[in-house]
Structure 1
Amino acid sequence: MLGRPEGMARHAEAGVTLIELICVTAIVLILAGVALPVANTWVKRQKEMELRQALRQIREAIDRFQADVQRVPSMRQSKMNAVNQDGYPEKIEWLYEGYDIGDAARTRFKYLRRLPRDPITGKREWATRSSHDRPDAHFSDGMNIFDVRSKSEAVALDGTKYSDW
């Protein structure tokens, strides 16, 4: 270098200035501020997809149970309450623990391997609705299980409550 002492030239080029550190930190914070809501939305969307799948599995199992009750007369006579003429399961456990159809071989029909977990609440608990309940009822009369829904009152990405799905 011309006209500068050797030590001074190295000192000016070495290190990072405070302004550069502040600029880089600001850029990283802005990027993190943009990425975090996107990541949260992605996680919520994944949980909603899992909830839809779990609801579909349980509802299909309920429909298969009801179809089997219509098809196999001994199922209706086995354990069902006389008031439950619709043929829907009276307990959600019947879907995954099995239902003894009342024949001599003690055959048990199972419709689920296990009760799916509600991804929103993180529990294997579901709110149920009877075939005799009003569609907008929040509490079931417990006569049978016609439908299930999440117990969560949280709001989905589309603005509806998970408990209304």
Structure 2
Amino acid sequence: MMRSSVRGFSLVELLVSVAILGLLASIAMPVVELTQKRQREANLREALRSIRHAIDAYKDASDHHRIAVDNGASGYPPSLLDLSSGVTDLNSPDGPKLYFIRRIPRDPMNGDISVDAIKSWGLRSFASPYDAPRSGNDVFDVYSTSTEVGLNGIPYSEW
């Protein structure tokens, strides 16, 4: 009597395995997308905090007469670039410049990577109202230009 020593999986076993893997993948995909969105939101919060802190430090330096400010100007930086490129310290004109942030972070909600990090943000001047932000002669605040809504139900542009 001959014994068959063929080992392996039957077609039915392979189909069941593929079906189970497909089901697990379809369950895991929304969890992965949610995790990625949470990470981008955390990056947005950190970027906004960093830029806003730098803007406040610039304003504080101008209030303490460490930065030259045009007569009648608000004392906020004229552009985001001024925060990272440095300005002359009036207390030490021959000394090092004042830097308020190492680099301007990119808006993580702006999907267009061809846009420069500075231009990825919406700018609000000191003279513009909160509910209708627009750019002007200075940078009072920044906001995300994304039209998406966060997991908390608030649009990213209002964070």
TM-score interval for Structure 1 and Structure 2 normalised by the shorter chain: 0.7 to 0.9
How is 1:67-146 mapped onto 2 (pairs within 5 angstroms)?
67-72=60-65, 75=67, 78=68, 80-84=69-73, 86-102=74-90, 104-105=93-94, 107-121=96-110, 122=113, 123-124=116-117, 125-140=120-135, 142-146=136-140
Consecutive unaligned residues of structure 2, counting only runs of 5 or more, are none
Q: 2:19 — aligned with what?
A: 26
Question: Superposition RMSD on alpha carbons, in Å?
Answer: 2.0
Instruction: Pick the structure with more helix per residue.
Output: 1
How is 1:31-50 mapped onto 2 (pairs within 5 angstroms)?
31-50=24-43
Q: Amino acid of the residue matched to residue 130 of structure 1?
A: S
Larger Rg over CA atoms? 1
Consecutive unaligned residues of structure 1, counting only runs of 5 or more, are none
Shift of 1:91: 1.3
- Secondary structure (helix, strand or coil) at the match of 2:43 reads helix
CA contact (8 A) 2:122 2:142 kept: yes
Q: Amino acid of the residue matched to residue 91 of structure 1?
A: S
Overall identity of the aligned pairs, in %: 36
Deviation digits for residues 103-130 of structure 1 (CA, Å, limit 9, x no counterpart): 6426521101111122222551211111
CA contact (8 A) 2:126 2:138 kept: yes
Q: Please report the TM-score for the alignment, with normalisation by the length of structure 2.
A: 0.84
